[in-house]
Structure 1
Amino acid sequence: MGQGLLVAGTTSDAGKSVVTTGICRALSRRGLAVAPFKAQNMSNNSMVTIDPVTGADAEIGRAQWIQAVAARATPEPAMNPVLLKPGSDRRSHVVVLGRPAGSLEAGEFAGGRKHLAESAFAAFDDLRSRFDVVVCEGAGSIAEINLRAHDYVNMGLARHGSLPTIVVGDIDRGGVFASMYGTLALLDTADQQLVRGFVINKFRGDVGLLAPGLDSLRELTGRPVLGVLPWQRDLWLDSEDSLALTSRPAHVGDGALTVAVVMLPRISNFTDVDALCLEPDVRVRFVDDPRALTGADVVIVPGTRATLADLAWLRSRGLGTAIVDHARGGGAVLGICGGFQMLGREIVDPHGIEGSAGASAVGLGLLDVRTEFGIDKVLRLPTGSALGVDAAGYEIHHGRVARGADSDFLGGARRGAVFGTMWHGSLEGDALRAAWLRQVAAAVGREVRTGTVSFPAEREARIDALADMVEQYLDVDALLSMLDDRSTLRTLSGTLS
């Protein structure tokens, strides 16, 4: 039976995903068979992988996919057994072990998830039986005491697996010592006994200035701070949610090809543009106002979990008209999945996949395609060719697209400099990205250098850099000692009252 560790947080976006990813690679370097795990992920950023039992295509959170890459393990549904994909503020579509499993209303979030907990615990137990170490990532804060009775992703999971737990706090936001002490204090005695230490994330400055606070925190809680990770401007990986969009790196230079990515309210799989962010002659910006399209060479309409609602939003903001004007004025446009469907003639939802049965909308009319939502979700890992080069990607959608007179492009359509594809992730392929950039640059009268960046190599380099940071600033040997000792905290100072 393998061992496990829970990386929890004081808040959302404290850095749990980044720390978990770094730990996965660091432990893998030491010869351990490592698997990532997140019992429940709430994100519209997902990835297609293969179920090792059935051989069927399956869907998991993108963060767990990249953590599996970091662990040098094959991604599989057990690593993220429950994925909630918000379709509105009060309703989420549920994916269990990689396959659609209905929906969850806001009122059911507290008490209506027993079956999801059972699936999550079974998946964790399965992974632990096959790997040396399962590095688990929590969700949000572990001190959400209003949800504790039905929790299975934070301390509920830790109790199930008797997992030593480390708590990550973001010092860049301020108040990290209070949040760490308060987080521990709000837990009940049994939960507190599983918390083994703290990790401070995103620190800037002289770490020596923290010494009094680190000492006081240990005296007050009986738990050590196992590491202080520095704040790094260029540290970013495949993110879980759109909170990270504004911190993406941007290349600014004279003559750069300017790409405007529309920030849809229910944007999904925005990692589709990650590779463009690394190109030296490409400037990427995220926009939600038609005036921000001024000066853009290319407009990208990304994927969305609510195509009809986001199309209505696009029109209400004036962005729909602005995108059409941009295209008719000679600018390039790329629509991906739901964004591609918006560029077509019509979208119909006869089965109420996104809301009311029979709903429909007229598209922007830039491509000769018609979309109809089907009941069954399409999950695929397609390969093929486009623009004279090999291409690959992944598909996650209910929409079935019927193409008219336009030419084919990656399972979608093309008319001049307007492109639409159902394939997420296609721009991660270096050859396809270079060919597409040359096409759109020529269409708008610009030149771009291509072939200077390898996205897969850059991803590996960033994972290794993250692991280097973990090795340097986090006490990995202490983590390994925790894994070897499953006893509770009797050797420390006990619990807080």
Structure 2
Amino acid sequence: MKGVMIQGTASDVGKSLIVTALCRMFANEGKKVVPFKSQNMSNNSYVTRDGKEIGRAQGIQAEAAKIEATVWMNPILLKPRSNQDSEIVYLGKSLKTLSGRGYRETFYEKGLDVIKKSLDRLSNEFELVVIEGAGSPVEINLKDRELVNMKVAELADVPVVLVADIDRGGVFASIVGTLELLEPEERQRVAGVIINKFRGDISLFEDGIDWLEKKTGIPVIGVLPYVENHMIDGEDSLSIDNQFSTRKKGTLDIAVIQLPFISNYSDLEPFLYEEDVSIRWVKHASDFGQPDAVIIPGTKSTMNDLKSIKDRKLDVLIQNHIENGGYIVGVCGGYQILGNEIIDEAGLDTGIPNRKEQGLGWIPATTIFYEEKETVRSAGVYHEHTGLSPDRKVEGFEIHLGKTILHKESCSFLLLENGNEEGYYGRNGQIIGTYLHHLFHNDDWRNTWLNLIRKRKGLHTKETTCIKEYKDKRYDDIAAQMKEHLNVELLNDIIIKWCQK
């Protein structure tokens, strides 16, 4: 197989972004390139065109590679449902929920088999495979049954490039320590090192590069700059702080309830590019303040996160916010939380069949969790009763357990192309609930909603900020930036020579 694997010295060192940039760089060179990650652990999902679920990062990387995303690019997705258990999504479909120990003890051979099948399929269909690892390749307690790093590099028989994050400090120790803990045959597979997230004058790091190459015998093939506002969706919880911590102070204050089991927080990223919007996370009651709008995002465990909201007394603050005319949107699990009642009929959310929990009571609806999971791309228009322009198309995707049933005389938010009514629209848009992830990625809707808030504050409305075209341009910009700071000739030489062995 012709390809390369990007591994890291730790989580969140920038592997996903580098793979994304490489996919666009190789695609722009005319190569038929495909991303791959054997096993992803993330509650940020991507729904393929055929209604299958994979990790968000691989969906984004497929877009960068200018190809359609498929389950073969991420055959195993683990979605944490508690501190102990994760849902296993196997080839895009929910399989079962297992503890970490149960997964390691019962799933390893099945995992190896599907990884081999995926790699074979991709290598037959594409010219070049860019593989992403997970975490660190030297987690000693996990190495004997790992499915994400050196075992995958061995199965694919590709060279490894090790990425280290200089921004977090300790870059020399992390590289040398990682190499030292690899088995000899694994270390021989590491053909290059990338230093990522560098700030400042690169000439001041030249001595460091020389030392690393002499110490390890491995070339440093690039020192990549820290990329601000790269607009590539994050993958895990560590990315939340990185992407939202440096926000400016905007005229519109949007507070997002930070849930312990938050999912698909990429729903919120378009707000980062609205000049007058500041978006912030609310962990505790003391963080709430007086926002103009509140968003309750998706969650992998609705009842647990509903309990978390109540335990933190955020339900009282949300009530005051709405009673004072503030806007609120609940997306997916957030939609369920805003309803009257949640019934876990199958015991899938809590492990307790028929458990009931009172929601926050702002949407007249009951949610019932069934065994079958809904994963589908959806599109529609605003429901006629909303008073919004009926000719505006809204697109997104649904990933959820259960069904939310609105009580009589409630106004739905959308009318989908399949004829179904979706979501809730109340008080002239003050209260909205929807299962549609990436609702705010629709430029027209995002602007419509923000203008409702602007009007309430007595501010002038604004024209639509178009980010869809901007995002594709960012793929090109990031690829160009990587090409500028990467020894591309050496990287290609590493890939070709390894393939010719």
Same fold (TM over 0.5): yes
**Structure 1 counterpart of 2:404:** 401
Q: Secondary structure at the match of 1:258?
A: strand
Alignment of 1:68-467 (within 5 A): 68-112=62-106, 113-248=108-243, 252=248, 256-355=251-350, 356-386=352-382, 387-388=388-389, 389-404=392-407, 405-410=409-414, 411-416=422-427, 417-443=430-456, 445-451=458-464, 453-467=465-479
Offset, 1:212: 2.2
Matching residue's letter, 1:202: K
Offset, 1:125: 1.5
Q: Residue 346 of structure 2 contacts residue 370 of structure 2 at CA under 8 Å; is this kept in 1?
A: yes
- The two structures have a TM-score, normalised by structure 2, of 0.93
Q: Residue 281 of structure 1 contacts residue 448 of structure 1 at CA under 8 Å; is this kept in 2?
A: no
CA change 1:287–1:10 in 2 (3 A) is: same
**Structure 2 counterpart of 1:13:** 12
CA distance in 2, matches of 1:402, 1:442: 31
Offset, 1:444: 5.1
CA change 1:144–1:229 in 2 (3 A) is: same
Q: Secondary structure at the match of 1:384?
A: strand
Q: Deviations over 1:220-266 (max 9, x none)?
A: 22110000001133334201112122232566456x21111111111
Say yes or no: does 1:475 pair with 2:487: yes
CA distance in 2, matches of 1:310, 1:164: 42
Offset, 1:445: 4.4
Q: Residue 330 of structure 1 contacts residue 444 of structure 1 at CA under 8 Å; is this kept in 2?
A: no
In structure 2, runs of 5+ residues without a counterpart are 383-387, 415-421
Q: Deviations over 1:48-78 (max 9, x none)?
A: 113xxxxx41001111111111111111111
Q: Deviations over 1:444-495 (max 9, x none)?
A: 54444131x2121221122222111110011122221122122699xxxxxx
In structure 1, runs of 5+ residues without a counterpart are 51-55, 490-497
Q: Residue 336 of structure 2 contacts residue 367 of structure 2 at CA under 8 Å; is this kept in 1?
A: yes
Identity of aligned pairs, percent?
Answer: 38
CA change 1:488–1:263 in 2 (3 A) is: farther
CA change 1:132–1:443 in 2 (3 A) is: same
- The two structures have a TM-score, normalised by structure 1, of 0.94
Offset, 1:206: 2.0
Matching residue's letter, 1:409: F
CA distance in 2, matches of 1:99, 1:487: 33
Q: Secondary structure at the match of 1:486?
A: helix
Q: Secondary structure at the match of 2:23?
A: helix
CA distance in 2, matches of 1:221, 1:152: 26
Matching residue's letter, 1:261: V
Q: Residue 372 of structure 2 contacts residue 402 of structure 2 at CA under 8 Å; is this kept in 1?
A: no
CA change 1:488–1:195 in 2 (3 A) is: farther
Offset, 1:438: 2.1
Q: Deviations over 1:268-325 (max 9, x none)?
A: 1011111122111211111112333322000000000000000000000011111111
Q: How many residues align structurally?
A: 481
CA distance in 2, matches of 1:346, 1:329: 24
CA distance in 2, matches of 1:135, 1:187: 21
